[in-house]
Homo-oligomer: A and B are copies of this chain.
Amino acid sequence: MERAIGVIDSGVGGLTVAHELMRQLPKEELIYVGDTKRCPYGTRSKEEVRKFTWEMVDFLLTKNIKTLVVACNTATAFTLVDLQEKLPIPVIGVIQPGARAAIKSTVTNEVGVIGTDGTIRSHAYEYALKSIKTDIEVESLACPMFVPMIEKGILSGEQADDIIEDSLQLMKGNLQMDTLILGCTHYPLIEAAIQQVIGEHITIVSSSEETAREASTILDVHQLLYLGNRIPTHQFYATGDLRLFKKISESIFNETDDVYTVNSEQISID
């Protein structure tokens, strides 16, 4: 199946999902749209997030994608069911994969979730976790400082450490919790610092990594995997300035030595 996988995000956070897709499905081609012009989505209304998401989806549908990955937790929380009902292709969100991985991981039956205001307010993780495992304990915490910090390119150093330490303070007292879901695709970019603050005894579940894993499963079930051999070409589109987008891409993709071609372009979709 030679068609590409479509990936949408509010900005650069979904690049961590794209990176995992490239790592776990190295023969697949991606077409990514990041709505960097209107990022972050976490503080926007449900209606705005829906409108912006559909604009990205309409753009990707013209590219004949074979599946859609909604690589943004806020967009998943507000639009997944609607997209799954209306699109003729499989639609994969980032919330259910993270929830399932946390259920697999936890021994104490108590998990934490950190995310944007929008994701935490939606209770989407809590619902996803409890619909499968009724008695699981969930502690949720909004970390509204993380996305703006990451979108500015601040991924480490004293300023980052201080913000992460302050933001997670409330969660550190929970001694039962053994698993923490990074409920925002930006957060894997600061995962090492989060692990250090929250403690090595906590298993961190990256919704980016788990979403790529489930995309692999779902493409397989629908017989949509590309089974030939090729060097893939990926297309990255951003609605805003490309400079920051490229800077963050480089920090995500630079450690890989896989072979592929990347084309980046600025587009207008609104």
Contact = CB atoms under 8 A, between A and B. Distances in A.
Contacts of A26: 132-134
Interface string A87-119: 000100000110011011000000000000000
A221 B218 contact: yes
A209 B105 CA distance: 10
A205 B265 CA distance: 40
Given A27-B134, A134-B229, A217 B90 contact: no
A238 B96 CA distance: 35
A175 interface: no
A214 interface: yes
Interface residues of A, number: 27
A132 B216 contact: yes
A139 interface: no
A150 interface: no
Contacts of A225: 131-132
A46 interface: no
A19 B90 CA distance: 29
Contacts of A48: none
B213 A100 contact: yes
Contact of A218 (B97, B104, B132, B217): B217
Interface in A248-266: none
A196 interface: no
Nearest to A20: B104
Contacts of A241: none
6 nearest A-B pairs in the assembled complex, by CB-CB distance: A100-B216, A104-B213, A214-B217, A217-B217, A24-B103, A26-B133
Interface of A: 24-27, 90, 96-97, 100-101, 103-104, 131-134, 209, 212-214, 216-218, 220-221, 225, 227, 229
